[in-house]
Structure 1
Amino acid sequence: MFTMILICLLILLLIILDFKLGKKSHQNNARILPFAETTGDYRLYKNGAPLFEDLFQEISEAQVQVDIFFYLISSDQAGRDFLQVLKNKAREGVPVRLLTDRLGGYQMSKSIRSDLKDAGVQFQFSAVPGFPYFFYKLNRRNHRKITVIDGKIAYVGGFNIGRNYLGENPKFGDWRDYHLRLTGPVVKELHHVFLDDWYGATGEKHAPSVHHAEAKHPVKVMATDGVKLEHEFLQMIERAQQEILIGTPYFIPTRKLMDALKQSLERGITLRIMVPLKADHPFVKEAAIPYLEQLYRFGAHIHLYDNGFYHAKTLIVDQSLADIGTANFDRRSLFLNKEVNTFVYDESFINDLRKGYMDDVQNSIPFNEEWLAQRSLATKINVQIAKLLRPLL
């Protein structure tokens, strides 16, 4: 018995050491991809069906290249349809490169990968765990979702590929998310992000396609690698003068972000936070409750989305700046994952986005004293367990 306890303690110690040394190595070697403000024209998707329809159609019409990264590709009918479009295009002789995260892409079996290869699709896993620092690398995921077609069209946002994202999973129901279709100079920058990930997975260097299409709206790409994202969120919160709207499936902020949000409330700024009522991962909902309760008692308006599952990731400030991308408001996105976000400054677009957000508020349950009082004993116990798991959630 003593020997078993000793072995368990030794394993725990090795994991802690692995994580600490891995974190130090990561911070010293993070991939920094700085981009200046540029221009782009955009279309917003809030539901999977129209997104998939347009995405699949434009892939099928590609003439030059198709480069795609999704964190997760399911092996269900939606996933099979997606892969079939890629195989058809590759058989036409158009170069097709497909990346997926090694853990998120766990359903990409050997037979699926073999079929892709036979059709001419170049497939690779990204962020493959290895030594040294295996445990840390196991937690460091590439969470991006980028598509670049012919160097002219890019898609980026929160949707992955699968039936969940079409609202066909009865457990979650309708799936609320945000995804952008972009054209103009911004496409080159998103292509640069994809090609950097391709280089990380294969060692192959490629230059992004260049098309001199014009666009009128100012935008900025923010590609993060477990650093800088907290700073960007802080800057957005601190510039607010009237209103901050946050939408995220997972809300596990840092102390700096919590302090900034509390200070914004003290300055009289309206703060709204929307999270899903349902949970799609263990403990993430419970981990958020203490933070949400603190902000609620400071005067924030907290909304629990109850018209399906809320997976959108957005931060809207004063109807003058909106962030749409892949990053959640949690420790994993802030300090572990590779993410990519798009900052939009167009007032008309932001007004439409804000209206959609407020429409979703109407389909939400208020986080208030009544809801807190009705929590089950199991939820209260899970809240305490979740406190220990915050760095990994």
Structure 2
Amino acid sequence: MITWSIAIACIIILFIWLDFWLGSKYFKKNAPVFSYETNLSDMELITEGKDFFDLLFNDLNKAKKSIRICFFIVGNDAISQEFFRILQDKAQSGIPVYLLMDWMGSLKVKRKYIQRLKKCGVKVKRGNKPMLPFLFYRLNRRNHRKIAIIDGQISYLGGFNVGKEYLGADPKLGHWKDYHIRLPHPSLAITMEKIFSYDWRREGQGLTNNYYTNTSDRNCALTITEAGQLELNIIEWINHATDSIMIGSPYFIPTKRVFSSLLAALERGVELTILVPKKADHPFVKAAALPFFKKILKHGGSVYYYNNGFYHTKVILIDHNWCDIGTANFDQRSFLYNQEINLIVNNKNLIRPIKHAISKDLSDSFLLTEQAIKQMPITIKINRVLSRLLRPFL
């Protein structure tokens, strides 16, 4: 009986491994190659949930031609209902409204709410539904893009989703700090409409590879990544740093290749600063980061714990004048599986508000030390061991 149990377990493990391996190959082969460059003259950084929802809902209410919106997480609470109500009202007024939600991230959205949206004329889809082939790979793949495009004129991208926790209403997490950007830029809005349309189409018509790159000399680049593309981008950015690297993320679980690049940067004298939340919204993520932090501290880098609520930003600042901001966390899920969208900005004036926000967040943080890691409770140390096995899935 034990022999049969072991044999069955081995077969299941082999099946899951093959599913991941073949799924990874398939999605890498079919991943879109996309980078759009333009000259950006203005962007608005949003760091508080109330400001985000006030601005977004105001723009949605003013929409005259079209609304295309995608969120990873949509909750089941008052702010989510207000969001749905606005979309329903705009659809009933005759405006084309498209809502795309990740299947896993929108599990809290009840079927009756989706039916009500559709009845009012809102086109609704849930992306990344689990299916064959590559079931287990798909279960770990998320549409993590959080974008909104209104009238082909205004667009949003960043870290906020739709739910009360983003207003700081979760008592466990408290104040919610995030970075989202509002872009009053028609060229970028039209480009983001193309990205949205790509995600929308493939939920019903399969994959396509019809996107392009633009390599002219511009001050910003909009990139979409999935299936391992972001890992390559991150390594390239780190390798080009000559003075400093600042990484802000709710999670710090890099791949071996990315972490090796960070250690190499420290070896060549680049100043490395990591900012993560002291509080964790998942059981193992804090423990999973500690082995990396221990090595970073040993090599002369700095690690800060944000201590004014929950820190959910996704930002990388290179050499104080080049910035990546968007939807991707600094973890293996974003690097290897998720569908992400990021804006790379190479303009000192445009990134000045981001640098100011980072400085403010660092002032609300404290330095992590090697001694503090040694003195962490036994539960964290146990989770650290377990998290080694779970790193790709955290």
Calculate the TM-score normalised by the size of structure 1: 0.94
2:5 equivalent in structure 1: 4
Structure 1 stretches lacking a partner, 5+ long: 206-216
Q: For 1:289, give the aligned amino acid.
A: L
Query: Structure 1 residue 170: deviation in Å?
Result: 0.8
Aligned-pair distance for 1:344?
Answer: 1.2
Q: Which residue does the alignment assign to 1:212? A: none
Query: What's the secondary structure of 1:386's corresponding residue?
Result: helix
Quote the residue 1:65 is aligned against. 66
Q: Once the 2 structures are TM-superposed, how far is the Cα of residue 204 of structure 1 from its aligned partner? A: 10
Alignment of 1:63-102 (within 5 A): 63-102=64-103
Partner of 1:34: 35
Give distance in 2, aligned partners of 1:203 and 1:20: 24
Report if aligned partners of 1:40, 1:183 keep a CA contact under 8 Å in 2.
Answer: no
Aligned residue for 1:200? Answer: 202
- Equivalent residues of 2:290, 2:373 under 8 A apart: no
Report percent identity of matched pairs. 38
CA RMSD of aligned residues (A): 1.6
CA distance in 2, matches of 1:93, 1:202: 24
1:109 equivalent in structure 2: 110
CA distance in 1, matches of 2:114, 2:370: 51
CA contact (8 A) 2:101 2:127 kept: yes
Answer yes or no: is 1:16 the counterpart of 2:42.
Answer: no
Q: Distance in 2 between matches of 1:278 and 1:27?
A: 34
Q: For 1:186, which of 188, 194, 215 is the aligned residue?
A: 188
Partner of 1:220: 221
SS in 1 for 2:252: coil
Q: Assess, with a 3 A threshold, how the Cα gap between structure 1 residues 135 and 40 changes in structure 2: closer, same or farther.
A: farther
Q: Is the 2:31–2:227 contact (alpha carbons within 8 Å) kept by the matching residues of 1?
A: yes
- C-alpha separation in 2, matches of 1:36 and 1:351: 20
Q: Amino acid of the residue matched to residue 299 of structure 2?
A: F
Task: Give distance in 2, aligned partners of 1:150 and 1:67.
Answer: 9
Residue aligned with 2:36, SS:
coil
The letter for the 2-side match of 1:123 is: V
1:251 matches 2:252:
yes
Task: Assess if the C-alpha contact under 8 Å between 1:40 and 1:219 holds in 2.
Answer: no
The one-letter amino acid paired with 2:344 is F
Cα distance in structure 1, aligned partners of 2:392 and 2:244? 29
Map residues 1-393 of structure 1 onto 2, 5 A cutoff: 1-2=1-2, 3-39=4-40, 41-184=42-185, 185-203=187-205, 218-393=219-394
Distance 2:347 2:302 in 1: 25
Provide the rounded CA distance (Å) in 2 between the counterparts of 1:27 and 1:40.
34
Q: Which segment drifts farther, 88-97 or 221-230? A: 221-230
Cα pair 2:294 2:370 within 8 Å, conserved: no
Q: Name the SS for the 1:281 alignment partner.
A: coil
Distance 1:9 1:234 in 2: 35
- SS of equivalent to 2:308: coil
Q: Give 2:210's aligned residue.
A: none
- Distance in structure 1 (CA, Å) of the matches to 2:41 and 2:150: 15
Counterparts of 1:269 and 1:20 in 2: how far apart (Å)? 35
Aligned counterparts of 1:388 and 1:109: Cα–Cα separation in 2: 33
- SS of equivalent to 2:349: helix
- Report how many aligned residue pairs link the two structures: 382
Listed one character per residue, the Cα deviations across residues 33-61 of structure 1 (whole Å, up to 9, x for unaligned) are: 23234435210000110110010011011
2:323/2:351 contact within 8 Å kept: yes
Q: What whole-Å deviation, never above 9, does each CA across 1:124-182 have from its counterpart, x for those lacking one? A: 01111210110111111111001000000000001000011011111101111100001
